[in-house]
Structure 1
Amino acid sequence: MSNALSPSARRIQDLLNSLGFGPRVVEHEGSTRTSEDAAAAVGCDVAQIAKSLIFRAKETARPVLVIASGANRVDEKAVGRLIGEKIERADPEFVRESTGFAIGGVPPIGHAVPPLVLIDADLMALDVLWAAAGTPNAVFRLTPDELVRITGGRVDVVRKG
């Protein structure tokens, strides 16, 4: 790990600073692209990874950000019911255009187009979470309450099963 952050990770750290958080972003040598990789890199449980998944609302084409526990799969039908519109998986181009980041490094904040935000209720039972910080090898630490505060997200049941 080096002290100098890449431009995308620096963008997230600067945003965190503007929200009143101190240094939080950590870049790793290896990938934190998957929940399993991120958990191994930071030494936490996969459930503590707050993965940011971008979907596309079918009718309005708005980006929908679902922040889910790394241990869970998202129930797309449930998300559609929660937002009142069916959703579909977003292609890499839509993800980059709407967030400003590539898949695997999408953070929960700092998106180019403000998304509708849903937060996995399972995350609220944990003490510490780790979220992507703009690159496939950068993460930052936060609490569930901080996640809700910085995203303005609605907490609900979004997991399958």
Structure 2
Amino acid sequence: MRDIAAYLRENQILYEIIEHDVTLRSAQEGAAYFGIEMGQTAPTLILKSDTEYFAMIVSGDYGHIDFEQMKDRLRCDQLKLAKPKEVEQATGFAIGAVPLVGHGLPVVMDRQLYRYAHIYGGTGYANSTLKLAPGDVEKLNRVVAMVR
């Protein structure tokens, strides 16, 4: 999905796409740039199992992924972070720019994102950020598991 704004409009979602001159490479950089709590950032990580890919949308303060626990939750034998080329192959987007919605993968979502009225995450492009409600992220994705 290349035109995320059109997709959000079609689904009648309130959102803001924020353009910026700098590439934000971490939750810390995003939080500092937007003047928000680190937990309000929402990176989309791509996980690779033995049979499929998953998008894991977490609060920026999530910490380390417990892959053993996630393997049980997702009922798979193997699970790891996808490599940059695998991310692009699975989503069509570069690592670090995977959008919060519209990537087409089953999603594992962090409940802690609901602490905030709005969260900040990828748009598919390195120099823009999507701001929207966590409930809309859940609504527009096929959530297969929740964490925390």
Q: Structure 2 length as normaliser, TM-score?
A: 0.88
Query: 1:7-46 counterparts in 2 under 5 A?
Result: 11-22=3-14, 24-46=16-38
Residue 99 of structure 1: how far off its partner (Å): 0.7
1:115 to 2:101 alignment: no
Distance 1:24 1:155 in 2: 26
1:103 to 2:95 alignment: yes
Contact 2:106/2:142 (8 A) holds in 1:
no
Moved over 3 A (4+): none
Deviates more, 1:148-157 or 1:37-46: 148-157
Superposition CA RMSD, Å: 1.7
Give 1:5's aligned residue: none
From 69, 75, 87, give the equivalent of 2:79.
87
Give 2:44's aligned residue: 52
Q: Alpha-carbon deviations, 1:36-85, whole Å to 9, x = none?
A: 12112222111001110001112x1x111110111112222222111101
Residue 104 of structure 1: how far off its partner (Å): 1.0
Give 1:76's aligned residue: 67
Deviates more, 1:149-158 or 1:82-91: 149-158
Q: Secondary structure of 1:50's partner?
A: coil
Residue 127 of structure 1: how far off its partner (Å): 2.1
Give 1:126's aligned residue: 116
The aligned amino acid for 1:46 is M
Contiguous gaps of at least 5 residues in structure 1: 1-7
Residue 30 of structure 1: how far off its partner (Å): 1.1
Q: Secondary structure of 2:42's partner?
A: strand
The aligned amino acid for 2:29 is D
From 126, 131, 141, give the equivalent of 1:141.
131
Distance 1:104 1:125 in 2: 23
Matched pairs, number: 145
Instruction: Tell me: CA distance 1:121–1:32, structure 2 relative to 1, closer, same or farther (3 Å).
Output: same
Contact 1:55/1:87 (8 A) holds in 2:
yes
Residue 12 of structure 1: how far off its partner (Å): 1.7
1:67 to 2:67 alignment: no
The aligned amino acid for 1:103 is I
Distance 2:143 2:111 in 1: 11
Q: Alpha-carbon deviations, 1:111-138, whole Å to 9, x = none?
A: 2xx3221101211222221111112221
Contiguous gaps of at least 5 residues in structure 2: none
